Amino acid sequence: MQTGTDIKFRNYVLDDFQKEAIGHLLAGHSVLVSAPTGVGKTLIADYLIAQAIAEGRRVIYTAPIKALSNQKYKEFKEWYGAEKVGIITGDIVINSEADVTIMTTEIFRNMLQQEKEELNGLSHVVFDEIHYLSDESRGTVWEESIIFMPPEIRLLGLSATIPNAQELAAWIGEIKGHEVKVVQKTDRIVPLEHRVFHPLTGITNLNKLHRVWSRQQRSENEARPPVERRQRFLSHLDLVRAVQQRDGLPCLYFVFSRMQCELKAVELSEKANFLGEDEQDRVDAVIAEIITKYALENWPTIHRLKHIFRRGIAFHHAGLLPALKELVEILFGMNLVKVMYATETFAVGINYPVRSVCFDAPTKWDGVSFRPLTTLEYFQMAGRAGRRGIDERGFVFILADLDRYRKEEFPSTDPQQIEELTSRFNLSYNSVLNLFKNHERPQISVILNQNFATFQARNTQAQLENRLLKVRLESGKLREKICSDWGSLACPQARTLAKKRLRKLERKIKYIKGRAGKAAAAREIANLKTALSSVAARKCSAEEQKNCTQRVEFYENLHHEQLGLEERASSLRVADRFEEELAAKAGILTEMDYMAEGGVLLPRGEFAARVYAQELLLTEMYFAGYFHDWDEDQINAVMVAVDYEPRKTERLPRPSSLPFDPKPIKKIVRELVYRYGVDEREIRFFPSLSPLAYRWSQGCDFFELLNYTELQEGDMVSAFRRAIDLIRQVRTACLEEDPILASKLKNCMNKMDRDLVEINL
């Protein structure tokens, strides 16, 4: 495709990088696009899909989160019609063989393991947010999807800016056997202006803030009266006010706490109103429409928040009820939200640009501790600033706390310093089972060496060896030029040091009282004098001595580098780096009767190969007969506890309050961990929501459930939907062998998948 002519698609004139990527795709290549957030990467995927539909080809669109999958499904359904579009997200299956099928990356990986017929007619797979490959907990899914994807299918990877896009493309090209073109865009159509804010400084840059902090530190150290607390008080309200005064609204304000998102929105609504009467009427109309659509007349939350929305303020996080998320996103899309407080999930894929982006701090809670934002994370969120065709530039502000100030915690504003993608590949028990199920042993070893981690290790090894070769050559040449007397007492410099040592000893010996110490010092003095008198000093000029010293210092630096390189090279494992992990997990699976000695799957293994989360726990529960013993409501109560990660404030309920006996499940967990050596971090069972799921399964009203918990509404929905997903997996695994139980599990799903928990697409 030519890049010099104007080409329009969906009322957008395509940029050169978009035309270049589309040209490569139409020519039959796989393509990796690396570009900043908000420049129009997804338009490339949209063009590819429109072309594929016109030509009768199939495309799978994978997304990292269900919310993005649902959003793309709605968009594509509107553009192409419901019959052309399908969605599979584990808890939803609609029109799974459609021309365009949207799914989470996990579902695509599972499909490659089990249902190869689903790939018939497939020409392309789109991996949106492919930089998730570097995600510690989920990156393996992306790698396995790419490894197991048939080589004739072409790939379109869309990524935020990553510096090693060429390396990623080279890996994909190597294992797929065809060239992967890389299209990189480094500049933004709407440039970003990066600033920090504190009430003492106003909107400023980091260097000026640092000078103010330094002066404040000196003032306090000199015992001067400290700055009044009133002046130092830190508030998001001040930052929002400053942004508004600079005509910076609408603003997306990132807060890395769900509770703080809500509290800040409420606090701002008490101080500010950004909407006129006409706009408030439009907000009322949208709220009324959502209430009618989901029958939410009795939902207290929506009435409580109506006041906030009517002032042009909202919040968005994963704990919101889907209906409320939809309401907020509609209002935001209509430009009726001027300040949106959001967690970072709002930055993934959802295309809602603003004039300004604010950060409540330069650090975030990662589930373990507060840590600085990575440069990639910062730009992923900051990239929402600046609306194309509306703003000349976008503005990014970080609220700075001088009481906790550390300059190194602030992310770099230089896109050149974005971190490289690194592989997070690891083997799950499900992966091991499917490897043995679908491949012969020699082929498994080949597959284990196809991951990105091994490719990167191989690249690192080559770089180390090249550098080591150069260092050795330079070191060898330099060693030949170093004076043969270096280090001996013939060298003027070594002689000078020896004389200094001698004078120091002669002064010291006068004060030594002990006979043994005095005798030792005397011997050393005598030895030094003998050595100095027995060797003639080499005659070197000051210039020669200086040059010699520089050569030696350079040689020593090279030698230390050589030693470090040799140590790294010897410890770097390239080939067969995952064989030990495979052998360890295969050994456990064999001992547990999931596999025979030759790698043939036994009934337990066949079952677990179809379960993609908590596969060992669920398999043991199934083969113990518990799914047959429990009634439908108990099954739902149990399944909501499987693979559940509790919030910090959640506590385990008393066993007597659970609608099932937890002892048999605890026994399974103990057996897995202490008898077979399964890592306890891989077994998750936390039944804090089980009483709620039991009531819900029995038909309880959703709003009535809220009386029994302090958990956020959206978290309950997410947990219930996760249970539906797990029940579906167990049902699929037992469908052929146990149709009666499969029918029972279908009833379980229907009991959970209703009213506000049901996804409305």
Question: Which run of H or E residues covers position 342?
Answer: strand 339-342
What CA–CA distance (Å, rounded) separates 10 from 351?
A: 15
Instruction: Characterize 682-691 residue by residue with b for buried, 16 or more Cβ atoms within 10 angstroms of its Cβ, and e for exposed.
Output: ebbbbbbbbb
Instruction: List the structure tokens of 701.
Output: 């009203």
Confidence of residue 683 (pLDDT cuts 50, 70, 90): very high
Instruction: List the structure tokens of 371.
Output: 């840590």
* Model confidence at 271: pLDDT above 50: yes
pLDDT, position 572:
66
Name 645's Cβ contacts closer than 8 Å, sequence gap at least 6: 684, 686
Instruction: List the structure tokens of 317.
Output: 């996080």
State which of 60-74, 269-283, 494-508 shows the largest mean pLDDT: 269-283
* Model confidence at 328: pLDDT above 60: yes
pLDDT in tens, 483-526: 777 777 878 777 788 888 888 888 888 888 888 888 888 888 88
Give the full edge-to-edge strand order of the sheet including 356-359. 202-204, 192-198, 394-399, 356-359, 251-254, 339-342, 313-316
- Rounded to 5 degrees, φ, ψ at 9 are -150, 125
What CA–CA distance (Å, rounded) separates 755 from 43?
A: 34
The domains found in the chain, sorted by start residue, are 8-184 (3.40.50.300), 192-417 (3.40.50.300), 479-571 (no CATH), 610-757 (1.10.3380.30)
pLDDT, position 584:
94
* Model confidence at 115: pLDDT above 70: no
Nearest Cα to Cα of residue 436 among 424, 425, 448 = 448
Name 156's Cβ contacts closer than 8 Å, sequence gap at least 6: 21, 25, 30, 31, 33, 44, 45, 48, 124, 125, 126, 127
Q: For 341-355, 436-450, 657-671, which range has the lowest pLDDT when averaged over its residues? A: 341-355
Confidence of residue 230 (pLDDT cuts 50, 70, 90): very low
CB 32 within 8 A of CB 130: yes
pLDDT, position 164:
94
What CA–CA distance (Å, rounded) separates 322 from 325?
A: 5
Q: For 488-497, 669-678, 724-733, which range has the lowest pLDDT when averaged over its residues? A: 488-497
Specify the pTM.
0.84
Confidence of residue 231 (pLDDT cuts 50, 70, 90): very low
Instruction: List the structure tokens of 457.
Output: 């290790």
Confidence of residue 204 (pLDDT cuts 50, 70, 90): very high
What CA–CA distance (Å, rounded) separates 474 from 565?
A: 14
Nearest Cα to Cα of residue 714 among 223, 273, 418, 327 = 327
63 strand-pairing partners: 104
Name 306's Cβ contacts closer than 8 Å, sequence gap at least 6: 284, 287
* Model confidence at 370: pLDDT above 90: no
* Model confidence at 612: pLDDT above 90: yes
* Model confidence at 751: pLDDT above 80: yes
In whole angstroms, how far apart are CA 412 and each of 359, 397, 635, 716? Answer: 14, 13, 49, 37
Question: What is the gyration radius of the CA atoms in the chain, in angstroms?
Answer: 33
Percent of the chain topping pLDDT 70: 96
pLDDT in tens, 140-156: 999 999 999 999 999 99
* Model confidence at 398: pLDDT above 70: yes
